[in-house]
Amino acid sequence: MKTYKMIINGEKYDAKIKKYKSDQVIVEVNGIDYEIELERANRRKTEIVRSPKIQPTINVVKIPSKPVITSAGSVLAPIPGLVLRLLVKEGDNVNAGDIVLILEAMKMESEITSTATGIINKINVKEGVSVQEGEVLIEVGA
């Protein structure tokens, strides 16, 4: 235990701190033990001051797509992708549900089928070409 020598109002004191726990202290002064309760001063709580986060301003402008004129027999791209294989040619007869081309999207191949029964009037794409969702791939007529 550490001993402190103090002079208070001209009188000498020897003080030892015997026990210190939380805000309770036992101090021996000139051989007499005193139990002391420490008074906690109201300390200012340290606060972290932060500036508000700056949020980026994003303006999303949707570019209107050109209107697509479709007929009842138009085969549209259901998703954006790459035309891998054309399985028909102009003049071929097809039934509704027949596979007319293979479209690759995100490394997956999708079979695109005819929406109508009839003759392939026009093929608007070639193998290896990228297409967008809703684009007319093939036109089937009577």
Per-residue pLDDT of 12-57, as tens digits, reads 888 888 887 777 888 888 888 888 887 766 656 666 666 666 666 6
Same domain for 33 and 83: no
Calculate ∠ Cα 80-81-83, nearest 5°. Answer: 135
Structural domain range at position 133: 74-141
Same domain for 78 and 33: no
Does the residue 66 lie in any domain?
A: no
CA pair distance 71, 74, nearest whole angstrom: 5
Same domain for 135 and 81: yes
Same domain for 81 and 24: no
Same domain for 137 and 83: yes
Does the residue 111 lie in any domain?
A: yes
Overall number of domains in the chain:
2
CA pair distance 100, 86, nearest whole angstrom: 6
Per-residue pLDDT of 110-129, as tens digits, reads 999 998 899 999 999 999 99
pLDDT of 90 reads 93
Per-residue pLDDT of 54-65, as tens digits, reads 666 666 665 555
pLDDT of 60 reads 64
